[in-house]
Structures are given as structure tokens and as C-alpha cells.
Amino acid sequence: MKPLALTSGEPAGIGPDICLQLAADAQQFPTVVLGDPTLFAERADTLNLSIKIRTWVPGEPAALGGHELTLLPITAPEVVVPGVLEPGNARYVLALLDSALNGIQRGEFSGMVTAPVQKSVINDAGIAFSGHTEYLQAHAGVDDVVMLLASDKLMVALVTTHLPLSAVSAAITPEKLQRICRIMHHDLQYSFGIGQPRILVCGLNPHAGENGHLGREEIEVITPTLDALRAEGLNLIGPLPADTLFTTRVLTQGDAVLAMYHDQGLPVLKHQGFGNAVNITLGLPFVRTSVDHGTALDLSGTGQADTGSLRTALDYAQKMVEARSAQSA
């Protein structure tokens, strides 16, 4: 397996910390970390970690773990102080992403894992940036991507993501729901090796609309769309009331859940697995996973950052790459 590219994210945040903390563990991942050599050496000293930092040469093996960290050097233009945002380093953060994407395109990396970035400081630098997902989607040139969060017990994808509740209903169109379901079905097969994915679909309204008494979106949009997709062979169960879908009895009947909006599905998953969950982007031509947390500026350089989500992101990325390889064989 070619190595994964791990972008270390906002330099003032915990991204470099959790990379170094994982490097101190016994478990090794075939991973190249992208970041500034001086920053990593200084942060290792701050964290009192003895890590061998080795410069990566394309085509050679890479390792993250066993007190070793393979680094693709990219220089931050400004001095990095833990916990202190510096707009002058915004383009460095984007350069990490660009280098990972270019390496994937050249066939050097099997996929990418992203540590958290601070969107506000990138925008403060005068660069329009709405997030990792949108940046990668634009680079890949795909029309739609799907946000999927996963833990060891639950996978939840979203039809709509960062929208106010007042805009959600209008955003759930038959066309959008069809595209999301098809991407989810395809990637559960291709990237997770699930031959016939069973997708549990939430209704939008309480009690899934209760036959139109609590809203008509289920009757007019969601159910007809699911019926049309079932005719194509997709195994879609629902729309189901969200308050009972997330029970053990119902969850055992599916492989993943499709929620209609952000706070319908993610609070359940994060209650169940926060700190050990992973953010996965479906619909890209390459594997991309990410941590489920932010930059945690207050923890940077303290040694108190939790590596659980990054470990899970690396685990998922490796398994997804292996599943894709098996499908292509």
C-alpha cells in the first residue's frame, strides 16, 4: 500500500501535536505527515517527545509510529506560537492540502487524512475558504460530495450540512436526495466493501410527518424519491422517524443512516463516539478522512490533546484504500 498523506492542519493548533503523539505510540501507520520541519522539531521538544523525524523521499516506505515520523517538508513563512493564530501562515495551510492532492494525482499517496484547520484565520488572510470539504470538492471537480461521520458502531451521512433550519426543507429536493443516495450507496460498496448496503433514511419532520399531519415533505418529496431509487436496486429503508431510528433494534437493520440535516444525526453519533469518530467525504475520486474535532488552540503544546479521532481517521482511511483496491482487483 502506498502511504497515506496526513496534512497537519493549522500550525498553531493541535494538529502537529496529535501527529507527534501518534508517532510516539507503538502502532505504525504507513503515513507521510506534511508540515514544517522546524515546527515539528520545536513542538516535539515542547511536548518532551523523542521522535525521529525523517524526510520522505517519494517511492520509499513511510511510517508514523514507533517513535518515528516521516515528514514531507513544507515551510511555514511565519514563526509558529502554539495557540496563537497567524494569518501569514494561511497559505502554508493550503499548501499542505495542495501537496497532498498533487501527490495523490501523481500516484504517490493512496489517500489523504486531514488534521483540523482554522477557517477564520484563512479568511482573515483574505483567502475565501469555507472548509476542507469544499476545497477538495472543487479540486476534484465533482458536483456533489456527502459528509459521513463514523464511529466503531455507527455511520451517519447528511443530506444537508451547514444550513440554518429555516433553509433545510427547501434544500431537500428530489434531485439532491437522489444524488446523495446514489453516492452513499456507491461508496458503501466501493470504499467499505458492503455488497448490498442497507441505508436507514430519516424523515424530516417529527414522526416522519405522521401521514401529512406534521408536514408534507415525506409525502411529496422523500418517499417518492426513495421509491424511485428502490426501483434502481438501492436498499433504502424509510423514511423513518428519527427519534426511534436511533435505537439498537432499528440500527441493527441497516449498515448506515442518512439524516436530513446536521443536528438530526450528528448529536447522536457524537454522543456515542466523540473523540473516536471520523469525518469521511464520500463522492471524491480518492479516499479522504478527517478528525471530528477542531484546532483546540487552548490545548496546543500542552500534551493534553486526544489522539483518538486521528487514530480512527487513519484506520478508516487505510481500510477504505484496501477495500477500493479489492474492488478494483
Residue numbers belonging to the annotated binding site for a divalent metal cation: 162, 207, 262
With beta carbons less than 8 A apart as the criterion, state whether 109 and 326 touch: no
Residue type, 183: I
H helices of the chain, in order, are 15-23, 37-46, 90-105, 119-124, 132-140, 165-171, 174-190, 217, 223-231, 242-245, 248-251, 262-273, 308-328
Question: What residues form DSSP beta bridges with 31?
Answer: 4
Nearest CA-CA partner of 29 in 133, 111, 150, 136: 111
Number of other residues whose CB lies within 10 A of the CB of residue 276: 17
Give 71's strand partners. 33, 55
Residues with Cβ within 8 Å of 45's Cβ and at least 6 positions away in sequence, in order, are none
Q: Which residues are annotated binding-site positions for substrate?
A: 132-133, 270, 279, 288
Q: Which three cell numbers stand for residue 300?
A: 496546543
Any idea what DSSP says for residue 155?
A: E
Taking the C-alpha atoms of residue 173 and residue 170, their distance in angstroms, rounded to an integer, is 7
Which segments are annotated as binding site? Answer: 132-133, 162, 207, 262, 270, 279, 288
What gap in Å lies between CA 31 and CA 103, rounded to an integer?
13
